[in-house]
Chain A
Amino acid sequence: MSDQIVIHPLYAKLLEKFPESVVMDERQGFSGIVVQAITLLEVVKELRDNLGYDYLSSVTAVDDFPEERLEVIYHLFKSIGGAPVEIKVFLEREEPVVPSLTPMYPGAELQEREVWDLYGIRFDDHPDLRRILLWEGFEGFPLRKDWKEPLYEEDTKPFKSRWPEGKGERKELLNPYKDNVQYPREFDPNTLSGDVDQAMYKSLEYSDDPNSRVLQTDQMVVNIGPQHPSTHGVFRMTVVMEGETIVNLKPVVGYLHRNHEKIGERNTWLQNMPYTDRLDYLAPMSNNFGYAITVEKLMGIVPTERAEYIRVMMAELTRIASHTMTTGFLLNDLGAYFTPALYALEERELILDIFEEVAGSRMMVNYFRFGGVVRDVSPEVLKKIRHLVYNRLPRKIDELDKYISANEIVRIRCEGVGVLTADDAIAFSTTGPNLRASGVPYDVRRADPYSIYESLDFDVCTRDHGDVFDRYRVRIDEIHQSIRILKQVLDRIPEGPIMAGKPQYVAKVPAGEAYGRVEGPRGELGFYVVSDGKPNPKRYHVRAPSFINLTSLAQMCKGAKVADAVTILGAVDIVLGEVDR
């Protein structure tokens, strides 16, 4: 399947233009081009300016341990749709340095910081290269294969200590500190300053020069979060203000960094499925979907037809549940304390009831398997979904629309606030409703169709102003489109098996790599997996839409009032489980 990604004419063009520094990646199961670090900028510039690859989707790295090599991997797309071009840079493990793409694609900023944080790859000319998910002063680069966590047992699951001689004991009790910690040798805690935010405050670059200011007051640094009612979790932003106006803003994340990728590389392929539920916990079905299609790409299996319909049905239900909740909480952030959110949550509860019936759990569904889904949807449940889709949801969504969209306070607070132009939105790698609200009709379901979306009839909703109100409107429009999709799916769903082949708990995944992406409620959710033929992934990376959407937050907030920053953040719609992973 991975052969399909290869766009030979394009790579041929690049090979011709840069004969000395570009080669094809010729490993079995791999694709893309390998570029030397020194010519990376030239190649990318050619791709962006002359070949139309204006959208940088994902930046990540792979550790080839025990080989002395690190790879940096870029996925670039055209904002008009189509398959990606994949660029790799091979680096030495000692002191790896690669030029930063942030000046060219501002959307790379947070992703490059993440790679620096977890792999220790330095990006030259990066404007603000600091640790992002962990804190300054953390010992080691945790995603390197030779780095071991304090509760390390074995490289891969299943652990041998569980069977046949398993003793029910807590692993942390074997640690000398009775806790999940480890310290370097000769470490003396008394020498510690404990100030981990110094570099962050330094990077805020606010000026002391009174002539540059409008107001005759000092600029002020305010921390919002990590415990704040309107940061949607444990998100923190540090805001430099002049009076009430935001001069600069830095998102500070990592307060929910649960080591998803490190754990994912210890897990077997199947064991990652329930973990993906906990990424974007407002849209677990979409996460399952993304992971399932990525691994299926590698395995070369195709799910059965009925399974495809069930998958799409569940993904669209999730989208409705997630968008209603976002809308409700956007109003919360505006100060309409809880009433709209309560109405939105009622509809979400009914959708969660359906998830509980088909998958067994309200939120952590764990419903998809490679080649299908775990359980069939019974006729009674289908009837319930039909009832919801035809009778209740359209009525309720219209009601939501009616009492929010016309509300004068909502309009004053939202219109013209947090504007992001189309060019900026693409440059910042924004995805999902945020991108479409800026007028870019980019939806993975249409741009790079997966599953059965090609055969379904729906519109890509866009709006033109790129402000908070348009983001809200796009979400309401998308709910209507999802209902439209659901109606088609319910009418056409065929009978038949729900799994291709027999259910197996050991997935046989051949060596190779795959990048799969789906349009989740928050945008392009990508999974990049690398297999070396073993039962566990060698690399498991999540391209989290809400993490990357945060890159443009500072751009949107500059010049706005501090109360609007909360609204803008609410409209960007982040889920911390996905931001921090």
Chain B
Amino acid sequence: MAEIDLNNPEIDVPAELKQQIAVTTLDRIYNWSRSNSLWPMMFGLACCAIEMICTAASRYDLSRFGMEVMRPSPRQADVMIVSGTVTKKMVPQIVRLYNQMSEPKYVIAMGACASGGGPFKEGYNVVPGVDKFIPVDVYVAGCPPTPQALLHGLIILQKKIEGEHIPDTRWYKKCVVEAIPIPILGPDIIDPRHFELIKEETHKPLPVVEEVVEGGETA
């Protein structure tokens, strides 16, 4: 099956040689090899982490996709599965881990919580979606997604990788990909990218702020 995937369809390889020879493009073989040896980071947050463990275990068996090598170290991982509720207390560590991952790197937001806050979104310590801080490649829906749903998400990610084009991907470009600023824990979580906005909002004249608060409550 892999040979057929690899072969460039425009070049006709005789049928008897298909098992031995594949004529392909650099993009294709490069992406093919990368997408079949994705190493996820061994990193669980909440309930979804248990389903992630089940996915790696014998019944669903991630190693069929070349993903069984779960690395606890971000340096050796290709894909970060954010499996569970991202809390404000945890998000600095998650961003730090993401920055430490070597490129190319991918992020899967597993479950409702990582995608958009989930059932705990209204809580005071919950980040409404990990994509507020780090870029996400694949969102897997469900609360929690079953192991099969996560596998589907991983297959979708493989497809995305297979569609990549070396000159277009951001990590092969000349410009430096900057690290994401690490959020700070203050009276609430502070995204360093919003410093100016925070200063502006909290220093607004009082009456105006009160109106905004009331308007927000009734809306």
- A residues apposed to B, CB below 8 Å: 133-135, 137-139, 142, 149-153, 161, 170-172, 174-177, 179-190, 192, 194, 196, 226-229, 233-234, 254-260, 262-263, 266, 274-275, 278, 281-282, 341-342, 345-346, 348-349, 362-364, 576-577, 580
Contact = CB atoms under 8 A, between A and B. Distances in A.
B46 to A, nearest CB: 6
A184 B190 CA distance: 12
Contact of A346 (B59, B120, B190): B59
The 9 closest A-B pairs by CB, nearest first: A259-B123, A139-B187, A149-B124, A281-B47, A229-B72, A345-B57, A258-B120, A194-B184, A255-B90
A336 B84 CA distance: 26
A259 B126 CA distance: 8
Given A181-B188, A255-B87, A364 B54 contact: no
A171 B189 CA distance: 18
Contacts of A278: 46-47, 119
A345 B219 CA distance: 48
Contacts of B58: 342, 345-346
B186 A151 contact: no
A181 B189 contact: yes
Given A180-B121, A255-B87, A227 B43 contact: yes
A259 B53 CA distance: 25
A185 B90 contact: no
27 contacts: A134-B89, A137-B187, A152-B122, A152-B217, A172-B117, A176-B197, A176-B201, A177-B201, A183-B198, A186-B202, A187-B186, A188-B199, A189-B184, A229-B42, A233-B44, A233-B46, A233-B49, A234-B44, A255-B87, A256-B85, A256-B87, A263-B122, A266-B122, A275-B119, A281-B46, A345-B57, A349-B59
Contacts of B198: 177, 183, 187, 189
A363 B144 contact: yes
A474 B194 CA distance: 52
B50 interface: yes
A180 B126 CA distance: 7
> Which of A152, A258, A262: most chain B CB closer than 10 A?
A258
Interface in B175-200: 184-192, 194-195, 197-199
Q: Say which size band chain B's interface belongs to.
A: 35 or more
A443 to B, nearest CB: 25
A153 B219 CA distance: 9
A137 B195 contact: no
B178 to A, nearest CB: 20
A138 B187 contact: yes
B216 interface: yes
Contact of A189 (B117, B120, B195): B195
Contacts of B203: 186
A363 B206 CA distance: 48
B87 A364 contact: no
B219 A187 contact: no
Contact of A577 (B46, B59, B123, B126): B46
A576 B46 contact: yes
Contact of B54 (A172, A194, A256, A345): A345
A348 B191 CA distance: 41
B45 to A, nearest CB: 6
Interface in B58-115: 58-59, 72, 84-85, 87, 89-90, 93, 97
Contacts of A275: 119
Contacts of B195: 189-190
B128 interface: yes
B92 to A, nearest CB: 9
Contacts of B54: 345, 348-349
B18 to A, nearest CB: 36
A98 to B, nearest CB: 25
Contacts of A362: 51, 146
> Which of B51, B146, B184, B186: most chain A CB closer than 10 A?
B186
B85 A258 contact: yes
Given A258-B123, A275-B119, A183 B87 contact: no
B120 A282 contact: no
Given A176-B197, A234-B90, A258-B120, A183 B187 contact: yes
Given A180-B121, A342-B58, A345-B57, A192 B85 contact: no
A137 B125 contact: no
B125 A259 contact: yes
Interface in B121-158: 121-128, 132, 143-144, 146
A228 B74 CA distance: 11
Nearest to B143: A364
B209 interface: yes
Nearest to B68: A338
A192 B190 contact: yes
> Which of B84, B89, B132, B146: most chain A CB closer than 10 A?
B89
B125 A177 contact: no
Contact of B89 (A135, A149, A227): A135
Contacts of B124: 142, 149-150, 180, 259, 262
Given A179-B132, A255-B90, A185 B206 contact: yes
